[in-house]
Amino acid sequence: MIGANLRQRLERGDSILMTNPHHVSTGLAKRLCELGSDTIFIDCEHGSAGFEDVREMANAARQGGGGAIVRPDSHQRSLIIRYLNSGADGIMVPMVNTAAQAQAVVDAVRYACPTDYQNRLIICMIETLDSVENIDMLLKVDGVDVFFIGPGDLSQAMGHPPTVALGASRPADVLAVMDTTVAKIRQAGKIAGTLVTLDEAPYWRQRGCQFFYIHSDPYLRSGLAAMRGQVSP
């Protein structure tokens, strides 16, 4: 199964690239994996995909040689179970602030997939100052595969806009908190991940991150803009 394969690759030090297609599209899900994405990201927190969409896009991604990670809109146990039973190769749960919440996520996955939970990747998102303060306890929870720092929500929690202009750096205080948190994750022998742009990726790879999330839209936008510049009079 793809989830187990992703975990094995992370354990041997490989990097994983996860791409958000931003559209409910089986064709795009498959194509992104064919083009080199290790897994697609189906965002059910901010996106419109339903359970059947998850099933179809996950199957398409696997046909393209990748997998499908789903983000539910909450910690709701029944949602996690249903997305996994719809075919998700892993679950990426937002706003995990405490060790008890992380343990509940692990328990939900093991309940949903009692005989093959090892084939599902479990990702807990570190997105608030509470989760940063509780990171030492979160890291003690057995069964979490990736601790993923969400820079957008963390920036908002620290009083900044969630996004920055293309090519610009995040605020220095946000970067400092992210740096410290990634270091703690790595010191505990755990896997760290975060959202990156092309410019940011080397910085976080050097600091030990292995799980990288990217949006597809910026690459489509920049590619089309470059082509428009070539064909316009």
Residue numbers in the chain where pLDDT is lower than 50: none
Q: ∠ CA(51), CA(152), CA(82), 5° rounding?
A: 15
What's the pTM value of the predicted model, to 2 decimals?
0.95
Tokens of 139: 């890291």
Contact indicator for 157, 129 with CB cutoff of 8 Å: yes
C-alpha closest to that of 181 among 143, 125, 106: 125
Residue 167: predicted pLDDT = 77
Residue type, 56: E
Domain extent listing, the chain: 14-231
Q: ∠ CA(211), CA(216), CA(60), 5° rounding?
A: 80
Cα–Cα distance measured from residue 9 to residue 23, given in angstroms and rounded to the nearest whole number: 27
Cα–Cα distance measured from residue 96 to residue 99, given in angstroms and rounded to the nearest whole number: 8
Residue 233: predicted pLDDT = 83
CATH number, span 14-231: 3.20.20.60
Residue 169: predicted pLDDT = 87
Start-end of H helices in the chain: 2-11, 26-34, 51-63, 77-85, 99-112, 129-133, 135-138, 151-157, 172-187, 201-206, 217-231
Q: ∠ CA(151), CA(170), CA(136), 5° rounding?
A: 40
Q: What is the helix (H) or strand (E) element at residue 68, kind and residue range?
A: strand 67-71
Write phi, then psi, for 198 (nearest 5 degrees).
-60, -40
| Rounded alpha-carbon distances, angstroms, from residue 186 to 129, 152, 174, 189, 191 | 19, 21, 18, 5, 7
Residue 88: predicted pLDDT = 98
Residue 164: predicted pLDDT = 87
